Amino acid sequence: MEYVTLNNGVKMPMLGYGVYQTKPAETEKVVSTALELGYRLIDTVASYGNEEGVGAAIKESGIPREDLFVTTKLWVQDHGYDNTLKAFDVSMKKLGLDYLDLYLIHKPYSDYYGAWRAMERLYKEGRIRAIGVTSFWNERLADLFNCNEVKPAVNQIETNVWNQKWAEEAFMKEQGIQHEAWAPFAEGANHVFSHPLLQQIAQKYGKTTGQVMLRWLLQRGIVVIPKSVHKERMQENIDVFDFTLSDEDMQAIRTLDTKQSPIYDEMDPQRALAIGKMKIHD
């Protein structure tokens, strides 16, 4: 495993296991498998409804808590200072943890300034080792840390071969904020796993197209959290530290950039309205 050091000195694995769209009933099993295979970064979200499964797998694993890096996220419904403090306690109870490694604001809507100030408090109290955000474009990220005390340690944004986010990467590097990729496989959009260029590069290294996509992100210094419920694919996703893509191949993959998401447009006001109305509890 390779690691990055966040802007507050905390070490974070560069590759982890995500549980997006994993059914609550299946989560404990797949997270247990991931831990057995050597994953130590586990990324979940309050809105997925599977924090309890993650917590159960961690408890049963017997792995020392200090060897794990657990991330969860705050949903928009719970933004605001007091709501965030309550939501954090709910997540911690479901996870069965005494402290959290990384807590992220899931989307930049509603009262995320109140949420951030509550997270700053939890961070200063030692209940969270690092705090950050998800899906914050550069100007919102800049305004957030310009108006608060603690700079985000991580910004988790969609990053993949179709939507490569070079400007966002440059700004985060300039500011010492760790770039983390969600949807590193673009959720399979545009037949990405069978793209001729990626297949050609994969054959060259004796790897799969999925492994090439992950390695390409890792060599950019980006943390990745691929998701699969299949053990053989989970094993494949973590076996990406034994080869290095050439500069030529890195540049070739860069030509695939469409500069837009194949999943959904985060700048679409209708999308923002729908996210703002989504409730995960009463």
Is there a catalytic annotation at residue 113?
A: no
d(CA 82, CA 185): 36
Q: What is the pLDDT of residues 197-229, one digit of tens each?
A: 999 999 999 999 999 999 999 999 999 999 999
d(CA 37, CA 32): 9
Residue 128 host element (H or E): strand 128-134
Catalytic residue among 48, 103, 112, 123: 48
Task: Count the alpha carbons within 13 Å of 195 in the hemisphere toward its beta carbon.
Answer: 21
Average pLDDT, integer, range 87-94: 98
pLDDT of residue 204: 98
Q: What is the pLDDT of residues 103-135, one digit of tens each?
A: 999 999 999 999 999 999 999 999 999 999 999
Strands 41-43 and 154-158: unpaired
pLDDT of residue 252: 98
Number of H helices, E strands in the chain: 11, 10
What single letter denotes the amino acid at residue 69? F
For residue 21, pLDDT over 90 is answered with: no
d(CA 149, CA 146): 8
Contact 222, 12 (CB under 8 A): no
Cβ contacts of 74 within 8 Å, gap of 6 or more: 46, 84, 87, 88, 91, 103, 104, 105, 106, 115, 119
Contact 111, 79 (CB under 8 A): yes
Q: What is the pLDDT of residues 143-189, one digit of tens each?
A: 999 999 999 999 999 999 999 999 999 999 999 999 999 999 999 99
Instruction: Give the pTM.
Output: 0.97
Locate the domains of the chain by residue range.
3-277
Q: What is the pLDDT of residues 27-82, one digit of tens each?
A: 999 999 999 999 999 999 999 899 999 999 999 999 999 999 999 999 999 999 99
Using DSSP, state whether 61 is helix, strand or coil.
helix
Which of 250-259 are b and which e, b meaning 16 or more Cβ less than 10 Å from the residue's Cβ? eebbeebeee
Q: What fold does the segment set 3-277 form as a domain? A: TIM Barrel (3.20.20)
Chain centre distance of CA 191: 22
